[in-house]
Every structure is written in C-alpha cells, then in structure tokens.
Amino acid sequence: MLTLPPFEYHAPMELADALALLQKHAGKVKLIAGGTDLVPNMKHRLFMPEHVVGLKQISELNGVRGEGGFLVIGAMTSIADLARNPRVALLFPSLARAATAIAGPQLREMGTLGGNLCLDTRCVYYNQTHFWRKALGYCLKKDGTVCHVVKGGQKCVAAASNDTAPVLLTLGASVELASPNGRRAIPLEEFYVADGVANTVIEPNEILTKVRVPIPRAGLVTGYQKLRIRAAIDYPSLCVAVAAQQQADGKLEWVRMVISALGSKPHTVKRLEGFQGRALDAATIAELGQAAHRQCHPLTNINVETGWRREMIPVFVRRAFAEAMK
C-alpha cells in the first residue's frame, strides 16, 4: 500500500487554536477537513507536512443557517449534508445537484464544502505517485521546471476540478477567511486566480470558515451540468453552471454562466450584459451557449479529448438551462 509520510496530528476545538497552530508551524503545516483530497496527495508525496491540523472538532465551522439575507454554510459541512439539505435543494437546486455529482457516497460523507472550494488543482502529470512523477521528469507544479501540457509553458494549467465552485460563483457567493489578524469576506469571484500551482488567494495563515450565499428573490433559476466519463467517482471533464434572474414578466435581469474543469480557474463567462431584458427562450440560450463556447479553450490537462470537452459547452449550457427551468 502507498504509505503516508509521517506527521504530527492536531485536533483543536477552537478556531483560534487552529489559527495559532498554522502560525506556529508555518511552512510545515496543512489543514485537513475531510481528507479526501489531502490524503491521496500526501501519499503521492505532493505534500509532506510535518503537522496536520484537523478541523472536524471546531463546531463553528459546521452547519447551514439563514443569516439576514444569506444562507451561511459552514466550511466543514459535508458534501453529503449539503446534497441532502432541504433548504439548499429548495433555494439553490444547482448547488444540491453539484454536490450530488461529487465522487461517490462514502467520499461525499467525508468531503466538505470548504475542502471542495480549496481543492488542489488537478492534472494528469501531477496527481501521480512520486515514482511516476520521477519517471516523467516532474513538472512545474511540483518538483520540476517544465509543463507537459503546454510545451514550453511557464504557467501551470492544472485544472480547477471542484464541482461546487462554478455553481457558487453563479450564485454570487462570498467566502469568509479567518487569520490571526481577523476575518475578511471576499466575493468568490475574487477567490480564484488563474494559476495552477495555487489557484486561490487564501494565505497560508488563513482558514476558510464559511460560505455566504445571497438568498434569491423569486425568479432565480439555476442549473448545473457535469461531463465525466464515469457516472460516479470521477472528476469533471467539464462543468457548466448557470443562473438567471428573471423579472415578473420573464425578462432577464441578469444571467451568469461559469465554465470550469478546463483551466486553472473557473471561467466566468464575460460580456453577458447584453442579455438583460431578453426572454430566456431557445434563441437566447443558444446565443449564451455560443458565448461560452467562444470564451473557453480547454487544454490536455486530463486524459479526455479536448475538442470534445469544448464542443460539449453549448450542449451543456442548453441542458443546464433546461434543467433550471424545469
């Protein structure tokens, strides 16, 4: 069996204690939520922290509750709890759907929303054992200097592979990050950056504590579609999340689309302002699909045909809207 490198495990009860541990062991520490991403990555020697800080015991990181005009979801809420939460299903069907599409039942019980949002980017040349990566000659994300996806590439293009991120982006969510200096809330839109080595702005001394999603007004429709080869236990080859706010007369107030699993950052489709005031009919949706298609250029960071992943974008946009308006 692949072994875990040795480490010291900490299980603080309070967030402050967890933050103190991060500070104390800076550079040698990793946080563990459900462990479904970190543990295999440690076995692959992608991370060899001397200290691991478990977040399970910190009660303030758990739970889903209404707060003002927001639904606040604790970072340690399990993916399974998210998938079966009735309020989530009622308010944000696309989020429930994305949660259900993650991995398999056992992994959903272990995995958490915070963990999914902070999921390390994935690449066929990266998520491998140390022996394999050594035989390859390593890559620029870890231990090496070259990119095997983009020949001569200087920037890592490992794929954002979290199912919940594109959905929460369409919902206008924000995240709260705690550090010894206090807490800051930032829109999820500003949380991700286009860098496959580290695609979030979270600082090493910070902990993602909660996700705040604005509770929608009447007329919001949401949808999520995931392309994968296998019907379960498969990271996305393509994710399409859509949300549209319709007015009482059915006209669009705004529409958002986020396409992910293609590059290192979930791509929020730009220049959709022109759709304001239009009806969400077949012609509009087809145009939205084309807009998304034009802006997305997948790379061979996974072993699934790149051309097909791209061609599926307009199809999945249409299906996501069809599901949204059901």
In the complex, the residues that contact other proteins under the rule CB under 8 A are 1-6, 104, 124, 127-129, 131-132, 134-136, 227, 229-235, 303-305, 307-309, 311-312, 315
Q: Least distance from C-beta 279 to other proteins, angstroms?
A: 23
Q: Which residues pair with 182 in a beta bridge?
A: 179
Q: Least distance from C-beta 41 to other proteins, angstroms?
A: 12
* Phi and psi angles of residue 105, each rounded to the nearest 5 degrees, phi first: -55, -45
Q: Between 230 and 270, whose beta carbon lies closer to other proteins?
A: 230
Based on its alpha-carbon atoms, the radius of gyration of the chain, rounded to whole angstroms, reads 20
Question: Which pairs count as long-range contacts for 77-81, CB under 8 Å and 24+ apart, including other chains?
Answer: 77/112, 77/113, 77/114, 78/34, 78/108, 78/109, 78/110, 78/111, 78/112, 78/113, 79/34, 79/103, 79/107, 79/108, 79/109, 79/111, 79/112, 79/113, 79/116, 79/164, 80/105, 80/108, 80/109
Q: Least distance from C-beta 79 to other proteins, angstroms?
A: 17
Q: Between 8 and 305, whose beta carbon lies closer to other proteins?
A: 305
Q: Between 104 and 250, whose beta carbon lies closer to other proteins?
A: 104
Q: Between 227 and 296, whose beta carbon lies closer to other proteins?
A: 227
Q: Between 72 and 315, whose beta carbon lies closer to other proteins?
A: 315
Q: Closest Cα to residue 31, out of 62, 47, 262?
A: 47
Q: Between 191 and 316, whose beta carbon lies closer to other proteins?
A: 316
Q: Least distance from C-beta 266 to other proteins, angstroms?
A: 21
Q: Least distance from C-beta 172 to other proteins, angstroms?
A: 29
What is the distance between the alpha carbons of residues 43 and 45, in angstroms, rounded to a whole number? 5
Q: Between 4 and 26, whose beta carbon lies closer to other proteins?
A: 4
Q: Closest Cα to residue 205, out of 41, 72, 53?
A: 53
The DSSP annotation for 48-92 comes to --SEEEE-TT-GGG--EEEETTEEEEETT-BHHHHHH-HHHHHH-
Residues 324 and 242: beta-carbon distance below 8 Å: yes
Q: Least distance from C-beta 77 to other proteins, angstroms?
A: 24
Q: Least distance from C-beta 310 to other proteins, angstroms?
A: 10
Contacts of 198 (CB under 8 A, 6+ apart): none
Q: Between 12 and 153, whose beta carbon lies closer to other proteins?
A: 153
Q: Closest Cα to residue 71, out of 220, 276, 178, 198?
A: 220
* Cβ neighbours around 7 below 10 Å, total: 17
Q: Least distance from C-beta 50 to other proteins, angstroms?
A: 15
User: Could you tell me the CA-to-CA distances from 245 to 66, 91, 271, 278 in Å, in that order?
Assistant: 21, 13, 16, 11
